[in-house]
A and B are shown apart, each in its own frame.
Chain A
Amino acid sequence: MKWLNEEDIQHISIGAAVLGTGGGGDPYIGKMLALSAIKKYGPVKMVTLEELEDDHFVLPVSGMGSPSVLVEKIPSFDQLTAPLEAYEEAVGKKVDVVMPIEIGGVNSLIPVAVAAMKGIPILDGDAMGRAFPEAQMVTFHLDGLKPELVTLADEKSNVVSIKPADGIWSEKISRQITIVMGGSSIVSDYGISGKQAKESVIPDTLTLAQQIGALLTNERTAKIHPIVQMLEKLNGYKLFTGKAIQIERKIQGGFTRGKAIFEGSDEDKESTCQLFFQNEHLLAEVNGKPAAITPDLIAVLDEETGMPITTEGLKYGARVVVVAFPAHEKWRTDIGIETAGPKYFQYDYEYIPLETLAKEADQ
């Protein structure tokens, strides 16, 4: 158990934006939402999976939709808690602990804001170990669970509850509702017991995000560049160094979709890199060959500081380093790859683990 202070939140926002692989929302908005709620409602306690009681009621809260909308249309306080309140009313019990559904700049911190407003703790863990664009891309789904109930809210005080048949339908229906709500909503789904959380949740991911954020913030002047230190910590690879020369991006179907092209510099001079994204980076190609494939994590970092750059925040001319990290083992299973692998996103590649691709590129 630990109380989150302002510095922790700052660090979580940055580290979560790295693990958020370009998606999961702008870390600055995430930080501001959490700090604003804490300032108004009081501090937040973070608990570990071990500290959960088996009969605790644990509920994820997250933002759904296009991160490009969220940087303009910021939620209202009422909107942040409305899905949780609707969930409580429908199931007839109070939420004991909230949790992030994914690790991303905003989505790791919206539950912190909700925890502050409700005076309940947040769980140190999530259901992806990263960020993914779609609602069924969660470890709960991999473990055969259904969302049962999904509640969504917008800033206009519209609240919608649905009982979808399964995770895939939950995504389809709630995405349409989110589009009608203006491209961004707050959602609760997969309300679970503490016992179930212990089986399905990827543990300690908020702490991991906090450590990465602290590393990038505090090690700027270290002998070993913070990016190098981070790659070591996450068993990652540097894929490319270069400058953004083309960014195609649109708000479509409730996502931020597009691709970014980078022109190489330093050792990558003469090379190009293309990133394809749907909120999150899903595929990195260097000179037309795959260098990292979903569900492995792909992140774009500011070349100098290592600070993460989100898909909606990337600007023409940005000098970046593209890095990749292996996904959590739950995603490298058959069902993991079926749920969030390249074929699902209609990329014409078989999933090849990052380590194999890196070895091939070296030869």
Chain B
Amino acid sequence: MIRLGIDVGGTNTDGVVLSADNEILASTKSTTTKDIFSGIKQTLAKLMEESKLNAEKIDVATLGTTHCTNAIVERKGLNRVGIIRICLPSGSAVTPLLDWPQDLVDQLDPVTLLIHGGYEYNGEPIAALEESELQNAVEKLKGEVDSIAITSVFSPVQNEQEKYVAEYLSKAMPEIPISISSEIGSVGLIERENATILNAALMSTIRRVSEGFQQALEQEGIQAKIFLGQNDGTLMTNEYAQKYPIYTIACGPTNSIRGAAHLTNEPDAIVVDIGGTTTDIGVLANSFPRQTSLAVEVGGVRTNYRMPDIYSVGFGGGTRIHREDNGWKVGPDSVGYRLMEEAKAFGGETLTATDIAIAKGQVHFGEPDIASFKDLPVDDIYETMTHVVEEAIDRMKTNSEDATVVLVGGGAALMPEALKGASKVIRPAHAGVANAIGAALGDISGTVERIYLLENDSYENIIENAKAEAVKNAVAAGADPNQIQIIQLEDFPLAYLPGQALLVKVKVAGPLKI
């Protein structure tokens, strides 16, 4: 099975082709283009040329995309969202979007409605749905919104009302996509509602991304099965991604950490991904990205997804170097994808981190015009740059011992051979396309979401059975049974059912068995 992985970042579009035994057949790096898809097309063309493969040979094409993340962070191309919370008479003391950044709210241009309903923890309704409120919702939303997000109190326990309201609105507005919270998140009303609203806001973005990727593949004659990478390192089908674009959020750092793991075979390391604009630092623990146990904010919005524990600093190849009254300052702004036009080394006017690394002799790139750098304190500036990364590495450590550091990303070459706090610094071959490798190597997952009865079995047995079944599902979908790990495990007692019912959710994942 031949796999193709593409990762579209803010600065670079990376691509890689992997053989059946995960050998790298071709890898390439193109500049991300403003329209994004000509960048993907360019990458695909280069990959096909380099690998000399027939396009029909490619079985699987995986896209790791930052489009959805960027749409939220940059507040661009978001849908107008109708927000319905089924909660009254509860919930009025904390209304939807209360702590969202105002500029993001302005972009969503939301219509927000609180209606009667929702459930108690035991599945009894807090209140019944009211026909008049549903009619009113149709009137308020029709023509005013592009998509709808519906959240009810305790819908992870009982989602009948969410489904009913979604169907009701869908009948009146069949063209409008609807997201319901029970399919998006777990217990925690505000975080689940936030994720559902973001999901609804991304409907057009994900459609553009997927259509563009499909077109680019078609133009190269590639008829592979299309997957998109998720933030937990697993893959989802294109059809699934259309309904749940929120799951693509933050898949970039996950992919680069996983790519680094594949390239080095190091089970434990600090992975430093230096791009054009930012450096993302993550931790590889037992061959998996270390995850944060805290609520993660996406573009200033609180969610309760488990995300890789990433610390980002504004440093990359395109980082501007500023002259200040008392010395030189590194970043945090960057020329981004305009590096090739704007950096001094390439004939531009802006002094960047790449220029300093060239002047220092760290990066070799043609014949640098040393004369233009001779008045600069290159050593000092280079030390400052290095220090920015070293400090960030230090921050991600959980003990004071020196750690293995793996440098990946387009800017990996900027750093010296040794770093403070690193027992060794590894710069693997193909480091520049680690995230595309991570995308291509996305895991196959298996899930179980089922109600078990505690009166029939012990808690431990139930959990073990659920895990075993999830593993079976993952293996059936193609995962390697020897490398499966649990990535999510939750249970919630359902007091409304007899026999001490327990709702168990398990997700396991492992690499594709070869």
Contacts and interface: CB of A to CB of B under 8 A. Distances in A.
A305 B89 contact: no
A150 interface: no
A77 B487 CA distance: 38
B292 interface: yes
Given A251-B495, A315-B490, A74 B94 contact: yes
B371 interface: no
A294 interface: no
A250 B493 contact: yes
Interface stretch (B56-64, B185-193, B209-217): B185-193
B287 interface: no
Contacts of B91: 73-76, 155
A12 to B, nearest CB: 16
A314 B293 CA distance: 8
A352 interface: no
Interface stretch (A136-144, A283-291, A317-325): A317-325
B89 A73 contact: no
Interface in A236-285: 246-252, 266
B189 A74 contact: yes
Interface stretch (A27-35, A166-174, A189-197, A331-339): A27-35
A139 to B, nearest CB: 28
A218 interface: no
Contacts of B128: none
Interface residues of B, number: 46
A186 B459 CA distance: 33
Nearest to B394: A221
Contact of A155 (B90, B291, B309, B459): B90
Given A35-B99, A72-B154, A182 B126 contact: yes
A357 to B, nearest CB: 25
A302 interface: yes
Nearest to A315: B293
Contact of B89 (A80, A155, A247): A155
Interface string A135-158: 000000000000000000001110
11 contacts: A28-B302, A32-B99, A36-B94, A74-B93, A74-B94, A75-B91, A76-B89, A182-B121, A248-B491, A317-B489, A319-B398
A206 interface: no
Interface in A301-315: 302-305, 307, 309, 312-313, 315
Contacts of A35: 98-99
Interface string B153-165: 1100000000000
Contacts of B493: 249-252
A266 to B, nearest CB: 6
Contact of B90 (A32, A36, A76, A248): A76
B293 A73 contact: no
Interface of B: 87, 89-95, 98-99, 118, 120-122, 124, 126-127, 153-154, 187-190, 290-295, 302, 306, 309, 395-396, 398-399, 459, 463, 486-491, 493, 495
Nearest to B127: A156
B121 A66 contact: yes
B90 A73 contact: yes
A272 to B, nearest CB: 14
A60 interface: no
A246 B154 contact: no
Contacts of A312: 187
B496 to A, nearest CB: 11
A354 interface: no
Contacts of A315: 293, 306, 490
B126 A155 contact: yes
A321 to B, nearest CB: 10
Contact of A318 (B92, B120, B293): B293
B189 to A, nearest CB: 5
A77 B154 CA distance: 20
Contact of B295 (A28, A37, A220, A252): A28
B282 to A, nearest CB: 12
A71 B291 contact: no
B98 A32 contact: yes
A252 B398 CA distance: 37
Contacts of B292: 302, 304
Given A155-B126, A266-B398, A266-B399, A75 B293 contact: no
A319 B92 contact: no
A68 interface: yes
A316 interface: yes
A202 interface: no
Nearest to B295: A28
A73 B154 contact: yes
Contacts of B95: 36
B120 A316 contact: no
B187 A68 contact: yes
A215 interface: no
A285 B486 CA distance: 25
Among the interface residues A33, A155, A157, A252, which one has the most CB atoms of the partner chain B within 10 A? Answer: A155
Contacts of A80: 93
A88 B89 CA distance: 24
A292 interface: no
A47 interface: no
A156 to B, nearest CB: 6
Among the interface residues B87, B92, B309, B495, which one has the most CB atoms of the partner chain A within 10 A? Answer: B92
Contacts of B124: 182
Contacts of B309: 304
Contacts of A32: 94, 98-99, 190
A341 B279 CA distance: 50
A320 B291 CA distance: 12
A26 B94 CA distance: 14
Nearest to A307: B294
A69 interface: yes
A251 B93 contact: no
A272 B470 CA distance: 26
Nearest to B487: A317
Task: Pick the 5 closest A-B CB pairs, nearest first.
Answer: A318-B293, A155-B90, A316-B489, A250-B493, A182-B120
B90 to A, nearest CB: 4
Among the interface residues A246, A305, A313, A317, which one has the most CB atoms of the partner chain B within 10 A? Answer: A317
A69 B123 CA distance: 12
A23 interface: no
A156 B490 CA distance: 30
Given A183-B120, A317-B291, A317-B306, A72 B189 contact: yes
Nearest to A110: B93
A157 B188 CA distance: 23
Contacts of B491: 247-249
Contacts of A319: 290, 293, 398
Among the interface residues B90, B188, B398, which one has the most CB atoms of the partner chain A within 10 A? Answer: B90
A113 interface: yes
A113 B94 CA distance: 11
A313 B302 CA distance: 14
